[in-house]
Structure 1
């Protein structure tokens, strides 16, 4: 996963006045006093210190950071500095060093500023975060972790802080810690009814990839697709579910059904394969609909396979028409049977023709009978039928009842995701 960029560290420095502060000779600075007693004292900067700092300030504005550091260094020769003078110099030096990319000098200077006790808590928090951001940008992740962690411990409220910290763990290859921190943030969001950030979910999925944890990857991918549904996430999910050990080939048509509802069929082969499987399963109306969609999409009817595709379409059209003629007779036969599989299949076929009420009734009654072959598949198909009929709540309830280890329960869980979070 690529490293993300955040607000430049100089923005943080400006927020606390570090690269805009102008120490003027004789300036009264009660705002920097450590306590109420100090605030009564008028603290000033002598000319031999104030003039070089004024020059350094001007150079900082011109982004001449090394020259600014040289001007600040002139104050080193001045003896008997007051605590306020030392504080002012360190603060200016820290800003210049940070801007110049001298992390060690910036850290040393800002440590002295913090140790002086003269900073307001809010200003100190910003400086701590600035140092963490500076080291993050410099790719010194161990030190970034130190300062960003300190910022959080001291009550830093900038929402970027945890993101920077977690990325620092990730980029320093502390994947276990990055994973645990991300999981905690995502769980907290979900517990509070908030949507986890896509950034956190993507970073967590990258952690799973780095550790080759396929189960964790799939879990996070499902969350990512739940909150931020996209065709590429769906494609990845369907491929991974279908490649799981123990996945049954009898569910291939159901994979195509879910693919058609999410990513859409992408190639002529997908359209013709799904149509052929639907014909073999006894659902010619479904096959006809799929082929019609393929022709409408411009993926069927031209090229070297055009004649073959036309023959398949003619076959589906004839079978669908014949099926409609015999459905009434078939309904009486399957309804009289003690075994429910035929009734369920006929009901689904009716649903594919748009006869929702009659089809759903047959499927519901068929599931109540004994001897249903592949009963979990039948429940999956009933859920799909409810979805086609626009009965969202019943579809979800039915999908959630599906069990099994051969892939049928995985598909049902993904259908719940599709119903709740369709791609716009």
Structure 2
């Protein structure tokens, strides 16, 4: 059964009025800034108060009408069921997900202070804030010159938003000025970048943007990519289906017909929201909520179509750099990046990863070796470890107990979550390699 809008006539009127207010705000912003490139958004509150007030109104509207705008989206991503899409389903997990044993205050337990600020806001109608979370060791000595780690977590994503704000180094300078007392120093000369799964793609994008001739050109000591989603997310149904032709998601099996129908509904709803300029920005979601669409679009091989927004962009724009995956970016930009600013890279990947095929990572490594021979011609600057066996592999049982499988060759995706560095040689090698290159100035 194909998707049809279920908003009532009164609700549609509210959405239409919201659309009109959005259009009015955009016209007012154009009056303030003209059609030229707009100033960095972090300056708006102090230097362009009228523009900042318009953004506040947009955000208030987005909050007020969030439930109405996302009414149909909520139905589609509440999948497989309501319980499994609860925000706290994995914190901690139960039953077969009992290995996800970290609670919400895990960072605090591990000895970190947590801070959050906002880097920018989306260009979409809702002007959603883009948060940056900063973790600081609580035993960091006052005045210590602290090296920086940028971590790009996984969890999947499925739609590019186009709200990237350039000028990061200017933002950090501005941010420092907002802090009245500074008893710490960030060592920007020693940066480490790590990305896992979908975060591996984000990390590669960041590394290549930084090394671009017109990029920030920050010195990055080293990078670690863990089972990266380095290519457009695509999983072939015939390769991952069981003997009955079904695929497993969150412990529930689905037929191809079921998944194809949900993907068609997602497409129809997205087009409807786009036609009304009401596609909401999603800067973050809990994994239990956010992974469903990424899974559905990958196994129906529609992920790339969504990421490149082919449903709304003219064909000529589909090959723009912003819509490339990690392999394409490395392959097509070797002439426009400063090779010496690309850091040493360590990559490890499970040999039978069903989510992010190891073939893609092997192709990425081949591109680095052939297109960047002076930078990545030896294992001092490029290491690729195919993990074929784990000393201990943990899995959850339906009753919530943990099963330990020793000397396991079941090395799929996200396999390092529970591992002990002292037991797993590949993990120890990876972090020793990183540690040898990520130094402090003091």
TM-score (ref. length: structure 1): 0.23
- Structure index of larger Rg: 1
TM-score (ref. length: structure 2): 0.23
Q: Which has the higher helix share?
A: 1
Pick 1 or 2: higher relative contact order, CA cutoff 8 A, min separation 6. Answer: 2
